[in-house]
C-alpha cells in the first residue's frame, strides 16, 4: 500500500494549535476556573454533549467583549511552538488549511490569521453582547455577554458538517484535534488524527487511526504530504527545519497507529524514503 498525499487539513484550535482552552482562560480571568474546567473536560471526554455544556459555561462567566478579546493574546502566548512552521510547510506544498473550532469566533479568527490561515477558512462560534451595558463610547469593549449563536459548532457532532462545506467531498482530507467533537468529525474526512501533545484524552486517542504523541505538530507533515516529499523538503529550503524535525520525531515514536494496516503502509513508505 502506497502512502497517499492529502489535499486539506482541518485543525481544531484549543489544545491543538495552542496549549490553552479559550473558555478556561476566560474562567481564570473571571475567577471561575474550577466550575468551567469541569464542564469543558466533561464535553471533550464525551461525558456530556457539547450543546448542553456550551451555554452553561458562558452563562456562568458572563464575559464582557473586552474579556473575550483578551483571549487573543493568550492564544498567541501559548501557541504550539511549531504550529506556524507546520502550517506554512503544508500551505506551500499545496495543502489547504482550515480551522474548525468550538471556541469564540473573534479570538479564534485573530489567532488563526496570525498563524497564516486565510480568514475565509476559519469557523468558530459567534456571540452577542449588550451594547447598552458598559462603555459604549469605547466600541462596546465592556459590553456584557448576551447569548451565543447555536449551530454545528455548539454540538458534539457538528464539526464534520462544516469541514465538508469548506473542503468538499472530492478532496482527500485530514482532521486533527484532541477532543470528542473532533473525533465525531472522522466520518467527514479521510483520516482523523488525535493530538495528545497538550491533553491526552483516552476516549479519543484509543480509537483514532493515528495519534501524534508529541507537543510538536511536525509529524503531521509526514501524514499529509507523505514521507517521500518530506525527505525532499528536509534537504534544503524554507521548510527544511520543520521537515527535519518531523523526521526525527517520527523516528523516535511520535506517531502511533491504532489502525495496524495504516501503520504498516506508513512505515513502509518511511523505510523506503528516509535514511534514519
In the Cβ-directed half-sphere of 168, how many Cα atoms lie within 13 Å? 5
Q: Return the number of other C-beta atoms located less than 10 Å from residue 68's C-beta.
A: 24
pLDDT in tens, 245-267: 999 999 999 999 999 999 999 99
CB 249 within 8 A of CB 230: no
| Cell matching residue 202 | 483516552
Cα-flanking dihedrals φ and ψ of residue 129, to 5°? Answer: -130, 155
Cα 217 from Cα 214, distance rounded (Å): 7
pLDDT for the residue 125: 82
Return the percentage of the chain with pLDDT > 70, whole number: 87
For the chain, give every domain's residue range: 8-20+79-128+150-273
Q: When comparing pLDDT for 33 and 45, which is higher?
A: 33
pLDDT in tens, 214-246: 999 999 999 999 999 999 999 999 999 999 999
Mean pLDDT throughout 72-88? 97
Residue labelled with grid coordinates 502550517:
87
Q: Which fold has domain 8-20+79-128+150-273?
A: Rossmann fold (3.40.50)
Query: Three cell numbers at 205?
Result: 486517542
User: Residue 181: which of 164, 165, 167, 161 has the closest Cα?
Assistant: 161
Let me know how long the chain is: 276
- Nearest CA-CA partner of 247 in 237, 233, 257: 233
pLDDT in tens, 137-188: 344 455 555 445 555 555 556 788 889 989 987 799 999 999 988 999 999 9
Task: Report the interhelical angle of 65-77 vs 105-114 (nearest 10°).
Answer: 30
**What average pLDDT does the chain have?**
87
Residue 131: per-residue pLDDT: 44
Which one of 27-36, 81-90, 155-164 scores highest in mean pLDDT? 81-90
Task: Kindly state the greatest CA–CA separation across the chain.
Answer: 64
Whether the per-residue pLDDT at 46 is higher than 90: the answer is no
Amino acid at each position: 500500500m502506497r502512502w497517499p498525499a492529502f489535499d486539506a487539513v482541518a485543525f481544531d484550535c484549543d489544545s491543538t494549535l495552542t496549549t490553552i482552552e479559550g473558555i478556561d482562560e476566560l474562567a481564570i480571568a473571571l475567577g471561575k476556573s474550577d466550575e468551567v474546567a469541569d464542564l469543558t473536560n466533561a464535553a471533550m471526554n464525551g461525558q456530556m454533549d457539547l450543546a448542553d455544556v456550551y451555554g452553561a459555561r458562558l452563562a456562568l462567566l458572563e464575559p464582557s467583549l473586552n474579556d473575550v478579546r483578551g483571549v487573543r493574546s493568550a492564544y498567541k502566548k501559548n501557541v504550539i511552538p511549531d504550529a506556524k512552521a507546520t502550517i506554512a510547510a503544508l500551505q506551500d506544498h499545496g495543502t489547504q488549511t482550515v480551522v474548525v473550532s468550538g471556541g469564540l469566533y473573534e479570538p479564534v479568527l485573530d489567532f488563526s490569521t496570525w498563524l497564516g490561515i486565510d480568514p475565509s477558512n476559519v469557523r468558530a462560534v459567534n456571540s452577542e453582547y449588550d451594547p447598552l451595558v458598559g462603555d459604549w463610547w469605547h466600541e462596546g469593549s465592556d459590553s456584557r455577554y448576551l447569548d451565543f449563536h447555536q449551530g454545528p459548532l455548539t454540538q458534539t457532532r457538528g464539526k464534520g458538517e462544516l469541514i465538508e462545506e469548506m473542503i468538499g467531498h472530492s478532496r482527500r482530507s485530514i482532521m486533527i484535534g484532541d477532543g470528542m467533537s473532533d473525533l465525531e468529525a472522522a466520518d467527514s474526512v479521510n483520516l482523523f488524527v488525535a493530538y495528545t501533545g497538550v491533553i491526552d484524552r483516552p476516549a479519543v486517542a484509543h480509537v483514532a487511526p493515528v495519534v501524534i504523541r508529541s507537543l510538536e505538530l511536525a509529524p503531521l507533515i509526514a501524514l499529509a504530504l507523505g514521507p517521500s516529499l518530506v525527505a525532499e523538503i528536509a534537504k534544503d529550503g524554507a521548510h527544511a527545519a520543520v521537515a527535519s524535525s518531523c523526521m526525527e520525531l517520527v523516528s523516535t515514536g511520535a506517531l502511533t497507529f491504532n489502525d495496524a494496516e495504516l501503520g504498516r503502509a506508513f512505515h513502509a513508505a518511511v523505510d523506503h524514503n528516509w535514511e534514519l
